[in-house]
Amino acid sequence: MSAAPAVAWRIICFRPDVVICIEPTLMSAPVALLAAKLVGARSLLHVQDLEVDAAFEVGPLNGGAVRKLANGVERWLLDGFDKIITISHKMNEALVVKRLSPGKISVLRNWVDTTAISPSPKACSPFREELALPAGAFVVLYAGNLGPKQALEILIEAARRLASEHDIYYVVAGAGPMREALQRQSADLPNVRFLPIQPVERMNELLALADLHVLPQSKGAADLVLPSKLGGMLASGRPIIATADPDTELHDLLSDIALLTPSGDSEALAAGILAAREFDWTQRVERGLRLVETMSAQTLLPQYEALLLTS
């Protein structure tokens, strides 16, 4: 919010046709709406994360009157935008439940640059040498935000269950509020390694490190977010294991692409990791690469532009 006055001033000076606000954080919405109205611009909100719902489902906030007030403020802000784009059909349904007009909402997945991320041989990833991984190591990789909605403690619990499998290594790459807690939780596990956030030019090398991508999610946040990291995982052409329960969007999207285990079940995740080593991934990886074609920047950006022009 400290940048809000500067952003508002730039909008007023530049006088754009469309003002785009990205949630999270919804706290930036009032500034975007006010600036758009001052210059007569159309306003568009891109909802990446239903953060108010997530704060009550998996975050620190309790329900009751506080939730009712928060939902009311959220709906008032959302209703002020001319157009809303969200990234999943379940999030779309949640927005409609908030009594927003269905005609105001469009669904566009997050795009991935398939010219920058593409299938590469494991030998192309210098991270194996940088992490001093032994030859033949089976690498389970998580690359992304380290927050409570990711439920990454389940990965550490699974690693502990598989501690006797000395050829399986777990690499957690990213930053976030849970990083220190995860490092403490795994301090006695020599096969767990941490990497900081990597520059975008190294993302393809990082994703090529994986023998298996892991995509855990908190049960309470299952349909409140759709992880943007999924596009990169799919584009890398590597196998994926995800924690996703039936009737959630992630489960429906990945049912014939990834190995799926119940959310919150470290025993099932550990069993899935073991099964993934022996699994024939050929067809599932091919289906994932076909799916990611529909999520490429080349496919989605023209659709996004069309929405901007008609919002």
Give percent of the chain with pLDDT exceeding 90. 68
- The token pair at 149 is 């909605």
Answer for the pair 141, 212: CB distance below 8 angstroms, yes or no: yes
- β-sheet bridge partners, residue 213: 141, 240
How much of the chain is in helix, strand and coil states, percent to nearest 5? 50, 15, 35
Answer for the pair 107, 92: CB distance below 8 angstroms, yes or no: yes
Q: Which fold has domain 4-111+297-310?
A: Rossmann fold (3.40.50)
CATH code: domain 122-293 is 3.40.50.2000
More confident residue, 73 or 213: 213
Residue 27 pLDDT level (bands cut at 50, 70, 90): confident
More confident residue, 28 or 204: 204
Let me know if 69 is exposed, middle or buried by CB neighbors in 10 A (0-12, 13-18, 19+): exposed
Residue 122 pLDDT level (bands cut at 50, 70, 90): confident
- For the chain, the average pLDDT equals 91
Backbone angles phi, psi at 58, to 5 degrees: -130, 0
Q: Tell me: pLDDT of 148 over 60.
A: yes
The mean pLDDT of 225-238, rounded to a whole number, is: 92
Residue 60 pLDDT level (bands cut at 50, 70, 90): low
Task: Kindly give the interhelix angle for 266-278 and 153-161, rounded to the nearest 10 degrees.
Answer: 60
Identical fold at 4-111+297-310 and 122-293? yes
Residue 198 pLDDT level (bands cut at 50, 70, 90): very high
Residue 1 pLDDT level (bands cut at 50, 70, 90): low
243-299 pLDDT, tens digit each: 999 988 899 999 999 999 999 999 999 999 999 999 999 999 999 999 999 999 999
Q: Tell me: pLDDT of 78 over 80.
A: yes
- For the chain, which residues make up each domain, given as ranges? 4-111+297-310, 122-293
Q: Tell me: pLDDT of 311 over 90.
A: no
219-230 pLDDT, tens digit each: 766 667 788 899
Q: What is the DSSP letter of 111?
A: P
